[in-house]
Amino acid sequence: MQQPPPLLLASITDARLETYWIRWLSAIEAGIAHQRRRLFEDFWKSHPNDVQPGDVDSWVARKDARGAVDSIALLGATLDSFLASLSASGYPALAREIRKTTACVSANDAVPLKAMLAVPHLRHRWTEWIDQIFESPKRRRFYAQLGERFTEVEIARIARRGDNVAGERGIVYCVAEAGLTMGEFDVMLAFAGFDAMRKAMHQVLAPAYSECEYATCSVCFERTRDTAFWPCKHFGYCWQCTSGLKECPQCRTRGEPLKLFSA
Q: Kindly report the pTM of this predicted structure.
A: 0.49
Spell out the residues 6+ positions from residue 22 whose beta carbon is closer than 8 angstroms to its own: 148
CA 150, 151, 156: angle at the middle one, nearest 5?
A: 95
pLDDT surpassing 80 at residue 178: no
The confidence band for 105, taking pLDDT boundaries of 50, 70 and 90, is low
User: How high is the pLDDT of residue 164?
Assistant: 47
The domain locations on the chain are 8-102, 112-213, 216-259
> Edge-to-edge strand order for the sheet containing 227-230?
235-237, 227-230, 256-259
User: How high is the pLDDT of residue 123?
Assistant: 86
CA distances from 257 to 5, 71, 102, 253 (A): 17, 19, 20, 11
User: How high is the pLDDT of residue 121?
Assistant: 84
Do strands 235-237 and 256-259 pair parallel, antiparallel, or not at all (unpaired)? unpaired
pLDDT in tens, 211-263: 555 556 777 767 777 787 777 767 778 888 888 888 888 778 888 888 765 43
Report, as an integer, the average pLDDT of 130-142: 85
> What distance in Å separates the CA atoms of residue 263 and residue 261, rounded to the nearest whole number?
6
Spell out the residues 6+ positions from residue 95 whose beta carbon is closer than 8 angstroms to its own: 83, 84, 86, 87
User: How high is the pLDDT of residue 160?
Assistant: 60
Question: Average pLDDT of the chain?
Answer: 79
pLDDT surpassing 50 at residue 166: no
**What count of other Cβ atoms lies within 10 Å of the Cβ of residue 25?**
19
CA distances from 12 to 16, 18, 44, 74, 234 (A): 9, 7, 19, 11, 14
**What count of other Cβ atoms lies within 10 Å of the Cβ of residue 220?**
11
User: How high is the pLDDT of residue 161?
Assistant: 53
> What distance in Å separates the CA atoms of residue 183 and residue 2, rounded to the nearest whole number?
24
CATH class label, 216-259: alpha beta
227, 237 Cβ separation under 8 angstroms = yes
Under DSSP, is residue 52 helix (H, G, I), strand (E, B) or coil?
coil
Report, as an integer, the average pLDDT of 99-122: 75
> What distance in Å separates the CA atoms of residue 11 and residue 26, rounded to the nearest whole number?
16
